[in-house]
């Protein structure tokens, strides 16, 4: 809804049984939340031992964007510690050789209000996350999961 200005979100909301109150909240979000310069960015990074994927919500030029909707607002601390954003920042870095800050847009599904938190990752944090991914693979191998992939064969990527 936020990425595509041409998207007919009202039609989909009505089709899915949203109440008039919820549609009004969505209208507020659509009109008031600032837009990114792009829609979702899909990054696929091939590493020597496995591949990683990131679906980043948008690029605002000088920063990347992640949007979270829920009943409670996020906090700065939660944005700063969020592993999903760390993973996305690592993926961006590996693909573009650039560390970009993120803005996390926290939107209340109760009233359409929003807060924006800026969050940054350091090269040390990205290196630590990559090491955690390699350790996760080692743990999956030790548990016998990596080879069997739980019946998914070649469809699982980490």
List the domain range (segments joined by +) for residue 97. Answer: 37-152
Task: Please provide the DSSP assignment of 9-61 as one string.
Answer: HHHHHHHTT--HHHHHHHHHHHHHSPPPSSS-EEEEEE-SS-EEEEEESEE-S
In a domain, 43, yes or no: yes
In a domain, 46, yes or no: yes
- Does residue 83 form part of some domain? yes
What are the angstrom distances between the C-alpha of 45 and each of 54, 93, 131, 158? 9, 10, 15, 10
Residue 2 domain flag: no
pLDDT recorded at residue 154: 52
Quote the CA–CA distance of 9 and 24 in Å, as a whole number: 12
Span 81-88, average pLDDT: 97
pLDDT, average across residues 134-158 = 70
pLDDT of residue 78 exceeding 80: yes
Confirm whether 88 is domain-assigned: yes
How much is the pTM?
0.84
**pLDDT reading at 152 higher than 90:** no
For residue range 47-68, list pLDDT tens digits in order. 988 889 999 999 999 999 999 9
Q: Is residue 129 part of a domain?
A: yes
Domain with 68 in it: what CATH number? 3.90.320.10
Question: Which pLDDT value is given to residue 39?
Answer: 84
Question: Quick check: is 28 in a domain?
Answer: no
Q: 75: pLDDT confidence band, cut at 50, 70 and 90? A: very high
Q: What percent of the chain has pLDDT above 70? A: 90
What pairing do the DSSP bridges indicate for beta strands 102-108 and 64-70?
parallel
- Confidence band for 8, pLDDT divided at 50, 70 and 90: confident
Number of domains forming the structure of the chain = 1
pLDDT at 35: 83
Would residue 14 count as lying in a domain? no
């Amino acid at each position: 809804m936020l990425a595509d200005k041409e998207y007919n979100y009202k039609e989909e909301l009505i089709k899915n049984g949203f109440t008039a109150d919820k549609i009004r909240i969505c209208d507020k979000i659509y009109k008031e939340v600032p837009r990114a310069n792009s829609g979702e960015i899909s990054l696929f990074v091939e590493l020597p031992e496995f591949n990683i994927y990131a679906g980043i919500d948008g690029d605002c030029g000088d920063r990347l964007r992640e949007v979270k909707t829920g009943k409670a607002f996020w906090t700065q601390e939660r944005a700063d510690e969020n592993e999903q954003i760390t993973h996305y920042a690592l993926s961006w870095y590996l693909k573009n050789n650039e560390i970009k800050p993120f803005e996390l847009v926290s939107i209340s599904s109760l009233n359409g209000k929003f807060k924006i938190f800026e969050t940054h990752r350091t090269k040390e944090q990205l290196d630590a996350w990559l090491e955690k991914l390699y350790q996760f693979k080692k743990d999956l191998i030790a548990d016998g999961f990596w080879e069997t992939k739980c019946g998914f064969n070649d469809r699982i990527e980490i």
